Amino acid sequence: MNIYDLNVKDRTGGEVSLSEYKGKVLLIVNTATGCGFTPHYDPMEAMYKEFRDQGFEILDFPCNQFAGQAPGNDDEIHEFCTMKFNTEFPRFAKIDVNGENADPLFAYLATEKPFEGFGKGLKMAAFSKFADANNKKYGDKAYIKWNFTKFLVDRDGNVVSRFEPTVDMDVVKEAVKALL
């Protein structure tokens, strides 16, 4: 199996084959509109505008599994993102990324690039403890630890990097540039 064998739902409920993105560099991210990391939309949109003509796509999957930080339906989330952050990259239907109903895409991504930590320091240790408490209910199906976890996929469909939300967006941008 590879990423191009998977299908997802667009925000209107239509089936989308990820094979439509063959040959492109992808940044796949689970998002939330009410999270402390929501400002990541700004640098993500800037990257999208800068690199989309070079074969770059951001695939946005809203998720409400982390402290209920993505309330609202798909249309409300889309309106928030386009009005507040002027996002133009594709946004898909709200999904679960953990547990029995985890979307197969995120289960696959997390299996390819497992969680390795949020970083060092007291602040990261406290955040990790908070995330662990939230995700305890998912047991061995706690694939994603928090909102704005990003997976970088190369043009051949290989998952090459995982960036936790605590990773500086400049680091993410440099990794994207290296693949383009």
What does the pLDDT look like over 15-44, one tens digit per residue? 999 999 999 999 999 999 989 899 999 999
Provide the domain count of the chain: 1
pTM assigned to the model: 0.95
Confidence of residue 156 (pLDDT cuts 50, 70, 90): very high
Q: Is the dihedral of CA 96, 165, 59, 22 positive or negative?
A: negative
| CATH assignment of the domain containing 174 | 3.40.30.10
pLDDT at 123 over 90: no
Q: Where are the alpha helices (DSSP H) in 27-70?
A: 41-51
Q: Which residues form the domain of 160?
A: 3-179
Residue 35 annotated as catalytic = yes
**Which is the catalytic residue, given 35, 169, 172, 179?**
35
Q: What is the pLDDT of residue 49?
A: 98
Rounded CA separation 158/163 (Å): 15
